[in-house]
Amino acid sequence: MRFSHFLAVDWSGAKGARQKGIALAIARAEGGAPVLLPPPEPRGWARSEVLARLRALKEPTLVGLDLGISLPFADAGAFFPGWDASPGDAQGLWAMIDRLCADDPNLEAGGFVTHAEAARYFRHGKDHQGDRFHLPGAASREGRFRVAEAAQRAQGVRPVSNFNLVGAAQVGKSSLTGMRMLHRLAGRVPVWPVDPLPDSGSVVTEIYTSLAARLGGMTGAATKLRTYEALNNALDTLDSAPVQGTGAIDDHASDALITAAWLRRVHETRDLWHPPRLTPAIARTEGWTFGAL
């Protein structure tokens, strides 16, 4: 066991300086209950504060970010087929998004999704989508998916396309704001599998909280833990001590807590670091979701 801490970040792509939808929880390798990290202010975390915390990691920490670290590439051989400026890899994508959003505060991504060319690839409203949201001849109305997201679906969860910016389940905005953070994290903490897994130190991974909830015993369509009782039942399944509390719990907090415990429980599972469909080309372009097989 080379990690001493397991940090789960439930992320948010919403506008504003501070986000109630961001939650951080940490689990220690030696055991005990996962613990929520309080934001610096009662109004919630700022994305820049999360970035600063990741930059300042001292203990070897496995960090799970609940967002998509890239966009689909393998299905068309490009992130943005038909656009000459389409980057060739995930790191180029992060740099492009951050550059086009230079005037957006709070690591927001409005400058990218409203860009004349980029906007063509996204679904912006119930009845408003770009003319390149679908690939020519695509059968699905849900948009494009990464190889890792196809693997997630095979495991019984339902990820939403990162090109979709609409609805409560969408993760497009979260993913784009997260990619701005990843660009600014470059050189400080490696992002697996876009970066190789180092022999020591901290590592950032993409996680999907629904996969953690599944391993914690959640079945059916629901994967949110909204009471302390349900959360502690799931933690028990993950061989974790319970958290203190009764009654209702915010699902951003429960997502972070269950995922921190899950990372601690499964991080030594070799197959999770070597999923069969993760090729070097996929790693470089689309990345992967830790836990997807």
Please answer whether residues 160 and 167 qualify as being in contact, where contact means their C-beta atoms are separated by less than 8 angstroms.
yes
Looking only at the bridges linking them, the beta strands covering 5-10 and 23-28 are antiparallel
What values do phi and psi take at 229, rounded to 5? -60, -45
Residue 65's DSSP bridge partners are 9, 206
Task: Give the model's pLDDT for residue 9.
Answer: 98
Closest CA to 162 of 180, 153, 149: 149
Backbone angles phi, psi at 9, to 5 degrees: -120, 110
Cβ neighbours around 168 below 10 Å, total: 5
Q: Is the pLDDT of residue 161 over 60?
A: yes
pLDDT digits (tens, 9 = 90+) for 218-236: 555 556 889 999 999 999 9
* pLDDT tens column, 254-286: 999 999 999 999 999 999 999 999 999 999 999
The structure tokens listed for 172 are 């497009």
DSSP 3-state of 191: strand
pLDDT averaged over the chain? 94
Q: Give residue 43's region: left, alpha or beta (phi > 0; psi -120 to 50).
A: alpha
Q: Please say whether the beta carbons of 238 and 261 come within 8 A.
A: yes
Yes or no: say if 272 and 5 are a contact pair by the CB < 8 Å rule.
no
For residue 128, the cross-strand partners are: 125
Q: How many residues are there in the chain?
A: 293
Q: Which helix (H) or strand (E) holds 286?
A: none
Mean pLDDT, residues 248-253 taken together = 94
Closest residue by Cα to residue 75 from 143, 11, 128: 143
Range in 115-129, 130-144, 218-232 with the lowest mean pLDDT: 218-232
Q: What is the mean pLDDT of residues 196-220?
A: 83
